[in-house]
Amino acid sequence: MERFVASDSPEEGTTVNAPSKWTGRGACRTLAPDALFVQGQEQNRAKSVCLGCHVRTECLAYALDNREEFGIWGGMTERDRRALLRRRPTVTSWRRLLETARTAHEQIDADSDHRQTA
């Protein structure tokens, strides 16, 4: 049985970014689980489910932090994730990195909206 922890760095034998906190809000929640574990051209169709998903960041962070080897997670294939992990080997918490980036992006959007209405 896996143990879920709300930690910034994974400990051996644990899973971070507990999926039960966000999976029920995912765009894929009504799909058969196998729909996200496909090969070849079907991966593009599976990835399209993630477009506009409200928990895409959490999903991708979970897959990266836990080194999920298979399936589409947060709009990325296993090949996409492996390449990202190779490019950024020093990242210790993808959850923290992606949430920080999302917050900064949302702030920029809010500032832009405020300037347009002023």
User: Which tens digits make up the pLDDT trace of 42-86?
Assistant: 999 999 999 989 999 999 999 999 999 999 999 999 999 999 999
Residues 17-45 have a mean pLDDT of 89
Question: Do 36 and 28 form a contact (C-beta atoms < 8 A)?
Answer: yes
Whether the predicted pLDDT of 3 surpasses 50: no
What is the model's pLDDT at position 74? 97
Picking from 63, 58, 72, the residue whose alpha carbon sits closest to that of residue 102 is 58
68 neighbors 17 (Cβ within 8 angstroms): no
Across the range 32-44, mean pLDDT stands at 93
pLDDT 10s digits, 101-112:
989 988 887 777
Residue type, 6: A
